[in-house]
Structure 1
Amino acid sequence: MRILVTIPHFYNPEGDGSHASLNKDPRPRLMGLSMSLTALRGLYSDSQCVIDIGKCATFPVNHCGGNAVDIVICTTQNCHLLQQLPLPPGFYRHHATDAEPMKLGFECQDVLRNELGKYDYYCYLEDDLILHDPWFFVKLRWFNAHAGNETLLQPNRYEISPYGKVNKAYIDGNLLPHVTAKFQNVRDRPQLTGKVMEQPLQFRRTLNPHAGCYFLNAEQMKYWAEQPYFLDRDSSFIGPLESAATLGIMKTFKIYKPADEYANFLEIQHFGSNFLSLIGKQVKLSGEES
């Protein structure tokens, strides 16, 4: 399985700190991006082995699928941290642009379209998201085999920390219905069910399809790229960051996420604990009085 991952990356230490990309301290940004890239290579490439202790030798493992992953990092206006990444040459490709920083995600769409016909999966990943599931793409393939390519399963995005009111929080809960109503009809096939390893599962159309990422198979990517609105840079869903990640796929596919009861069936980590730290402050903890 050949996988193409595009990542928008921007960093400006002179910013106001309203986003992680505008923070004066680059270390969290470097750590998050390094962890994201290392996980992609470690999980989805064939550069894996087992150390045979008795023979003092290594042997390939997890190679039955013939996996390969290519990573393209899109930057703009020379505002990035790539020269400080503690990673070897050739770990990723650098695609420099002059795009508006907030619309850098649309440049990733252009890269994906230009690579049509070369990969089995076409992916977009914000630079602070980390995958941990080696069966992630197997699950996506299983879902579309049963539900069809007109559907798209999005992961539940989460944060973890030992210091919060809770240790793990999924950060993309429901939006108010009107926010996405003009882009999707969640009453159309509202729920799907299935079973994996004798475990029943439920998937629901979501009022918040945003996850800062998407993972399309080759047929889905081709279909989306053929739509008249592809790469129109429409930013009408919340803002340009959210629109680049979510609006196009929301217009094109019926988007599902694993139901709350099975939230960890497909998930992705958001580096840091910015959202988690809101619980007990701006966000009421379940069971607490208002």
Structure 2
Amino acid sequence: MRILITIPHFFKPEKNGRHGSKLKDPQPRLEALSKSLAALHQLFGKSQSIIDINRRLAIPVNQPQAHDLDIVICTTGDCHLLNQLSLPAHFYQHYPTGAEPLLLGFECQAVLRDCLGKYDYYCFMEDDLILHDPWFFNKLSWFTKEAGNLCLLQPNRYEISTRALTCKAYVDGDLAPRVTAPFQNVNERAQLKSNIVGVPITFRRALNPHSGCYFLNANQMANWASQSHFLDRDTSFVSPLESAATLGIMKTFRVYKSVADWASFLEIQHYGTRFLDLIGEQVDLAMC
């Protein structure tokens, strides 16, 4: 299988910057992007082996789940940290643009469109997201075979800590229905149920379809690219950043996430603890 992953990357320190892309210290952003890129190759690349101790030989493993992986990082101007990454040069391709930083996600969409017909999966990930599940694409493929290509499963985004009130927090809980009502009808095929390895799991139309990423098979990407709203640069969902990542897929597909009881079925880590640290401060911790 051939997989194309596009990543918008921006870094420009500001005196009072709050987001990772604007902090004075570039190290957290470097670490996030490095871990993201490394994980993609370690999980889905072909360079995986098991050491046969008896023969003192490293033998290829996981080859049915190993794929041809291309990663394109979209930047704007010189506002990036790519020259500071200590990773092999073949881990990614650099795609420089002159776009506004918050609109880099639309540049990623253009790259995906221009590569139609060359890949089996077309993907977008913000530069602070890290995958840990080697079965990630198997799960996506299973879901679309069960539900159809007009249904898109989004991962639940989470943060982790050993020093907060909770060790793990999923950060994209429900929005008020009115926020996404102009773009989707969550009552249409409101939920799907299935059994996976003997476990009944429910998938529900997402009141918050944002995950900072999306992963489309070739048919889904072709369908989206054919829509009149594709690359319209509409920024009316939350902010330009969320719109570039989520609005187009929300207009095109019925977007699902696994319900809270099985949130980990498909998940992706958001680097840092910016949201998790709100628990106990601006967000109350519910007591069971």
Q: Give the shorter-chain TM-score range.
A: over 0.9
Distance in 2 (alpha carbons) for counterparts of 1:101 and 1:248:
18
Return the offset for 1:84. 0.3
Matches within 5 A, 1:137-286: 137-286=137-286
Distance in 1 (alpha carbons) for counterparts of 2:65 and 2:34:
25
Return the offset for 1:55. 1.2
State whether residues 40 and 131 of structure 2, in contact with CA within 8 Å, keep that contact through their aligned partners in structure 1.
Answer: yes
State whether residues 144 and 151 of structure 2, in contact with CA within 8 Å, keep that contact through their aligned partners in structure 1.
Answer: yes
- Letter in structure 2 aligned against 1:61: V
Return the offset for 1:64. 2.2
Distance in 1 (alpha carbons) for counterparts of 2:15 and 2:175:
28
SS of aligned partner of 1:221 = helix
Return the offset for 1:68. 1.3
Distance in 1 (alpha carbons) for counterparts of 2:267 and 2:146:
20
Return the offset for 1:65. 4.5
Return the offset for 1:287. 2.6
Distance in 2 (alpha carbons) for counterparts of 1:45 and 1:199:
29
State whether residues 123 and 214 of structure 2, in contact with CA within 8 Å, keep that contact through their aligned partners in structure 1.
Answer: yes
Distance in 1 (alpha carbons) for counterparts of 2:19 and 2:77:
18
| Equivalent residue, structure 2, for 1:135 | 135
With over 3 angstroms needed to count, the CA separation of the structure-2 counterparts of 1:123 and 1:57, relative to structure 1, is: same
Return the offset for 1:88. 1.2
Distance in 2 (alpha carbons) for counterparts of 1:65 and 1:42:
11
Distance in 2 (alpha carbons) for counterparts of 1:209 and 1:77:
30
Return the offset for 1:16. 3.3
The answer to which of 59-68 and 164-173 deviates more is 59-68
Distance in 1 (alpha carbons) for counterparts of 2:277 and 2:81:
26
Residue correspondences, number = 288
State whether residues 212 and 242 of structure 2, in contact with CA within 8 Å, keep that contact through their aligned partners in structure 1.
Answer: yes
| Equivalent residue, structure 2, for 1:92 | 92
Q: Percent identity?
A: 62
- Letter in structure 2 aligned against 1:199: V
Query: What RMSD, in angstroms, separates the aligned Cα atoms of the two structures?
Result: 1.0
SS of aligned partner of 1:64 = helix
- Letter in structure 2 aligned against 1:43: L
5+ residue gaps, structure 2: none
Distance in 2 (alpha carbons) for counterparts of 1:65 and 1:213:
21
SS of aligned partner of 1:90 = helix
- After superposition, give the CA deviation of every residue in 1:170-229 in whole Å (9 maximum; x if it has no partner): 000000110000000000011100011111110000110000000000000000000011
Where has structure 1 moved over 4 Å in runs of 4 or more? none
Distance in 1 (alpha carbons) for counterparts of 2:72 and 2:100:
18
SS of aligned partner of 2:59 = strand
Distance in 2 (alpha carbons) for counterparts of 1:233 and 1:51:
49
| Equivalent residue, structure 2, for 1:124 | 124
**TM-score, L = length of structure 2:** 0.98
User: Is 1:17 aligned to residue 17 of structure 2?
Assistant: yes
Matches within 5 A, 1:23-42: 23-42=23-42
Return the offset for 1:57. 1.2
5+ residue gaps, structure 1: none
Distance in 1 (alpha carbons) for counterparts of 2:14 and 2:202:
45
Distance in 1 (alpha carbons) for counterparts of 2:49 and 2:224:
37
The answer to which of 152-161 and 60-69 deviates more is 60-69
User: Is 1:52 aligned to residue 65 of structure 2?
Assistant: no
| Equivalent residue, structure 1, for 2:78 | 78
SS of aligned partner of 1:21 = helix
Distance in 2 (alpha carbons) for counterparts of 1:191 and 1:204:
4
